[in-house]
């Protein structure tokens, strides 16, 4: 029996229960796409796809509602696939395992996929419910939102007719989002050389774990610890006091997730081994005290390792550790006009060392494109000084707020009438597809709404169950009033 049994609205949770069983990591949406197309066929609804795999399902207006404007319900198929290292789980084959604690739904050691599985389930529920008396609907399901909004970028020009867009990818009930930041990635390649490791060395692994991680946009203002930055901090202190040999540094995974785990494997002399352990333990205590209020489970562990045949040579090691320690992470500038809104930030997302090169990725965001450009230029300048190269993807645009939006006025009135208070109207420091879709389809009037989803992009991800029914009713009420 599913833990979702008897949750309200049943039609939404039924769909979410099906969706959580379907593998749908970013860039691997084949199975969820097939599910959507089969759904359309089963319910005698028109559907179409474009060259990149975005799907639109159309539902005609109910009798008497034919003159209503077409409403576009928009969500994304993919999810961020993150799990704790001690969890045995394969995102390519396994169904998400659910857990309920009072009003909170979570997954067991993995991301939940409520981002944006709840949005997808809500769209499907509205398409399925024949009792709803609504105008024409276009339900748009995009691919690959989480790795750079590439599905929205490549959305076919003939996919949509509607000009009223309800994006179902927000994560705070009672908030109507009307704007978002733009962003782009910086992929660094730093050439390195190797040397033969000394047979006299003792080997140790420095592991950072237990961090909360989270979404690199919506959670960055909390200033949670970044495991890659902590690893670089520890290594920088060690190499300034001792002669060591770095074999590898590994950390992070997704560009839009704050790294929760990282490790470094180093060789040290037998004479320095105990002193280096003492230094690491001292640094661990310092780090814990600094981050205890926001990351109370932060852990730095030392373990013995088998000998390595090769390490970075001295020059490569020095350059890498200096660069990694210098690269920015976190909030860089707050918005001058909107209190509490991050304007510009970057996420030092991951590092991998191969035979002759180190690969580092940063994901940067800003509400002002000139600031985003300057931040990426600063990153490139640091990398050039280190002798590396940077490849930058095309930045995605932000979404400029339109406080005169007709659909916004409708949504505000419905919320105020129903709950006796005004909703919060805000812009967010994260990427939403509204700006891109609005550029492609001129005249699009859009807002973004959602239930309460906390800690997306991390195994702490949770959805507050009671807000899902309110969200569903809110979407339906807006569609009736448009």
Contact 287, 293 (CB under 8 A): no
Q: Is 145 a catalytic residue?
A: yes
CA atoms within 13 A on the CB side of 146: 28
Q: Which helix (H) or strand (E) holds 385?
A: helix 369-385
213: left (phi over 0), alpha (psi -120 to 50) or beta: left
SS3 20: coil
Q: CA nearest 180: which of 456, 435, 478?
A: 435
- Among candidate residues 116, 145, 172, 295, the one labeled active-site is 145
Reply yes or no: is the peptide bond before residue 472 cis, omega within 30 of 0.
Answer: no
* pTM listed for this prediction: 0.79
Strands 164-167 and 445-448: parallel
Q: At what angle do helices 273-291 and 227-239 cross, to 10 degrees?
A: 140
Report the C-alpha dihedral over residues 283, 285, 286, 287, rounded to 10 degrees: 90
**CATH T-level fold of 10-181+398-481:** Aminopeptidase (3.40.630)
Residue 382: predicted pLDDT: 98
Residue 1: predicted pLDDT: 56
Low-confidence ranges of the chain (pLDDT < 70): 1
Contact 344, 366 (CB under 8 A): yes
Residue 397: predicted pLDDT: 84
Q: Which helix (H) or strand (E) holds 471?
A: helix 465-481
For residue 124, CA distances in Å to 26, 161, 299, 434, 472 come to: 20, 19, 42, 20, 11
Q: Which residues contact 145 (CB under 8 A, 6 or more apart)?
A: 26, 76, 77, 78, 116, 151, 152, 169, 431, 433
Cα 89 to Cα 259: distance, rounded to the nearest angstrom = 19
Polymer length of the chain: 482
Residue 340: predicted pLDDT: 87
DSSP state letters, 46-95 = EEEE-TT--EEEEEPPPTT-TTSPPEEEEEES-B---B-TT----TTTPP
Q: Is 78 a catalytic residue?
A: yes
- Among candidate residues 17, 78, 172, 460, the one labeled active-site is 78
Total Cβ atoms within 10 A of residue 408: 19
Q: Which helix (H) or strand (E) holds 209?
A: strand 202-209
Cα 75 to Cα 145: distance, rounded to the nearest angstrom = 9
**CATH T-level fold of 184-392:** Alpha-Beta Plaits (3.30.70)
Strands 46-49 and 55-59: antiparallel
Contact 138, 56 (CB under 8 A): yes
Residue that the structure tokens 């970044």 belong to: 226
Residue 6: predicted pLDDT: 87
Domain range annotation of the chain: 10-181+398-481, 184-392
SS3 83: strand
Residue 120: predicted pLDDT: 98
Contact 181, 431 (CB under 8 A): yes
Contact 255, 350 (CB under 8 A): yes
Q: Identify the burial level of 217 via C-beta atoms within 10 angstroms of its C-beta, where 0-12 means exposed, 13-18 middle and 19 or more buried.
A: buried
Radius of gyration in angstroms for the set of CA atoms belonging to the chain, rounded to a whole number:
24
């Amino acid at each position: 029996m599913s833990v979702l049994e008897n949750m309200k609205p049943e039609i939404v949770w039924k769909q979410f229960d099906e969706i959580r069983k379907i593998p749908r990591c970013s860039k691997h949406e084949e199975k969820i796409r097939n599910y959507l197309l089969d759904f359309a066929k089963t319910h005698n609804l028109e559907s179409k796809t474009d060259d990149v795999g975005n799907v639109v399902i159309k539902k005609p207006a109910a009798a008497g509602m034919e003159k209503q404007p077409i409403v576009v319900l928009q969500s994304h198929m993919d999810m961020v696939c993150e799990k704790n290292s001690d969890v045995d789980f394969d995102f390519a084959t396994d169904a998400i395992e659910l857990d309920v604690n009072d009003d909170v739904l979570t997954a067991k050691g993995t991301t939940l996929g409520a981002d944006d599985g709840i949005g997808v389930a809500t769209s499907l529920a509205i398409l399925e419910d024949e009792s709803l008396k609504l105008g024409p609907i276009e339900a748009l399901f995009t691919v690959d939102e989480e790795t750079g909004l590439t599905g929205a970028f490549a959305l076919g020009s003939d996919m949509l007719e509607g000009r009223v867009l309800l994006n179902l990818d927000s994560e705070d009930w009672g908030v109507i989002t009307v704007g978002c930041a733009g962003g782009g990635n910086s992929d660094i390649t730093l050439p390195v050389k190797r040397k033969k490791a000394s047979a006299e060395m003792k080997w140790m692994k420095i592991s950072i774990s237990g961090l909360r991680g989270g979404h690199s946009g919506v959670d960055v203002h909390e200033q949670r610890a970044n495991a890659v930055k902590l690893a670089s901090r520890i290594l920088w202190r060690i190499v300034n006091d001792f002669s060591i040999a770095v074999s590898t540094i590994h950390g992070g995974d997704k560009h839009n997730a704050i790294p929760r785990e990282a490790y470094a494997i180093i060789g040290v002399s037998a004479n320095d081994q105990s002193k280096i352990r003492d230094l690491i333990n001292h640094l661990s205590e310092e780090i814990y005290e600094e981050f205890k209020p926001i990351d109370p489970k932060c852990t730095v562990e030392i373990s013995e390792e088998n000998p390595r045949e090769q390490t970075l040579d001295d020059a490569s090691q020095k350059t890498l550790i200096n660069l990694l320690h210098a690269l920015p992470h976190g909030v860089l500038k707050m918005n001058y006009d909107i209190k509490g809104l991050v304007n510009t930030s970057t996420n030092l997302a991951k590092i991998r060392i191969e035979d002759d090169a180190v690969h580092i990725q940063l994901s940067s965001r800003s509400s002002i494109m000139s600031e985003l450009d300057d931040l990426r230029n600063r990153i490139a300048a640091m990398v050039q000084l280190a002798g590396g190269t940077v490849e930058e993807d095309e930045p995605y645009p932000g979404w400029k707020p339109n406080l005169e939006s007709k659909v916004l006025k409708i949504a505000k009135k419905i919320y105020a009438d129903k709950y006796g208070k005004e909703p919060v109207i805000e812009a967010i420091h994260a990427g939403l597809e509204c700006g891109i879709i609005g550029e492609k389809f001129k005249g699009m009037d859009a807002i973004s709404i959602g239930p309460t989803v906390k800690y997306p992009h991390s195994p702490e991800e949770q959805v507050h169950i009671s807000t899902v029914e309110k969200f569903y009713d809110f979407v339906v009420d807006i569609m009736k009033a448009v």
